[in-house]
């Protein structure tokens, strides 16, 4: 199958060799930087300080959206659909964006590539943090393994979207509390795991303390023997 970059077209004209080289090299740089800490300022707000996950996609969209009457900003939030991609519900640019994708299938491939690479990097970061926790705890107890399983399941089930704001393209995840935010990195998962484990340990200690208190109170009641 032809590579995505080789199919990149601008205004239905194949991109120049220089543009293809730029797209390929920039994509590699962006992907290598994806695991670095991102400075977004506010969760859910795309910032030019964050590395572009797909300079090739950004370049293509910059060249094409105006031809279809698509105005950016406001930013476009792009979701996977049954057939390709679509904008979020209620966005009046959805039909025009669909026509763009129909006329330029290479853009859809770039969207797929950007999301796949970003999600894979997120999964790698999550696995790395969990593995490091297991090694540092000497294998973890049975209860801790259950905690880690719950943590993984909670972190894996997150809606994903691609955001194009006219300057950069980003991949974001939906947080139940903070809303849309950059995909989590190793640093994010490490902080979340530590906070979750602290709550887990505090809750476990509180339950144990309450049980001991109940046992001690029973020994002071007449006619009730101390539980074995």
Distance CA 183, CA 119 (A): 8
Of 153, 59, 170, 176, residue with least CA distance to 119: 170
Contact 146, 154 (CB under 8 A): no
**Confidence (pLDDT) at 61:** 96
Q: Which are the contacts of 143, defined by CB distance < 8 A and separation ≥ 6?
A: 204
Number of separate helices (H) and strands (E) present in the chain: 7, 7
**Confidence (pLDDT) at 147:** 80
Distance CA 5, CA 27 (A): 10
Distance CA 155, CA 107 (A): 29
Of 52, 61, 94, residue with least CA distance to 182: 52
| Whole-prediction pTM | 0.64
Domain boundaries, the chain: 4-219
Query: Which of 20 and 174 is assigned the larger pLDDT?
Result: 174
- Backbone dihedral region for residue 199 (phi beyond 0: left; psi -120 to 50: alpha; all else: beta): alpha
Lowest mean pLDDT among 52-56, 100-104, 143-147, 216-220: 216-220
Query: Which of 107 and 225 is assigned the larger pLDDT?
Result: 107
The token pair at 102 is 């129909």
Distance CA 14, CA 134 (A): 50
Distance CA 63, CA 215 (A): 73
Tens digits of per-residue pLDDT, 95-109?
999 999 999 999 999
As a whole number, mean pLDDT of residues 141-146 equals: 64
As a whole number, mean pLDDT of residues 133-142 equals: 64
**Confidence (pLDDT) at 13:** 41
**Confidence (pLDDT) at 209:** 43
Torsion, CA 108, CA 112, CA 115, CA 118, rounded to 10: -130
Torsion, CA 34, CA 38, CA 43, CA 47, rounded to 10: -90
Residue 85 pLDDT exceeds 70 = yes
Local confidence band at 201 (pLDDT 50, 70, 90 cut-offs): confident
A 10 A CB-CB count for 191 gives 12
**Confidence (pLDDT) at 96:** 96
- CA–CA distance from 200 to each of 43, 135, 136, 188 (Å)? 26, 19, 17, 18
């Amino acid at each position: 199958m032809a590579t995505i970059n080789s199919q990149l077209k601008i205004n239905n004209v194949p991109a120049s060799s220089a543009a293809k080289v730029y797209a390929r090299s920039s994509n590699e740089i962006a992907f290598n930087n994806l695991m670095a800490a991102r400075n977004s300022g506010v969760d859910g707000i795309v910032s030019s300080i964050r590395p572009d996950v797909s300079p090739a996609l950004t370049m293509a969209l910059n060249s094409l959206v105006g031809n279809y009457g698509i105005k950016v900003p406001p930013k476009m939030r792009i979701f996977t659909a049954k057939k390709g991609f679509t904008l979020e519900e209620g966005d009046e640019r959805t039909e025009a964006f669909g026509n763009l994708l129909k006329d330029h299938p290479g853009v859809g491939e770039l969207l797929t590539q950007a999301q796949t690479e970003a999600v894979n990097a997120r999964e790698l970061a999550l696995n790395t943090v969990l593995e490091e926790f297991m090694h540092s705890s000497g294998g973890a107890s049975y209860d801790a393994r259950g905690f880690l399983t719950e943590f993984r399941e909670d972190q894996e089930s997150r809606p994903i979207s691609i955001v194009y704001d006219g300057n950069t393209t980003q991949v974001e995840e939906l947080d139940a509390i903070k809303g849309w935010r950059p995909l989590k990195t190793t640093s994010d998962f490490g902080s979340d795991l530590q906070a979750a484990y602290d709550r887990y340990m505090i809750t476990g200690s509180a339950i144990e303390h309450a049980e001991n208190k109940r046992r001690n109170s029973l020994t002071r009641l007449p006619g009730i023997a101390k539980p074995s």
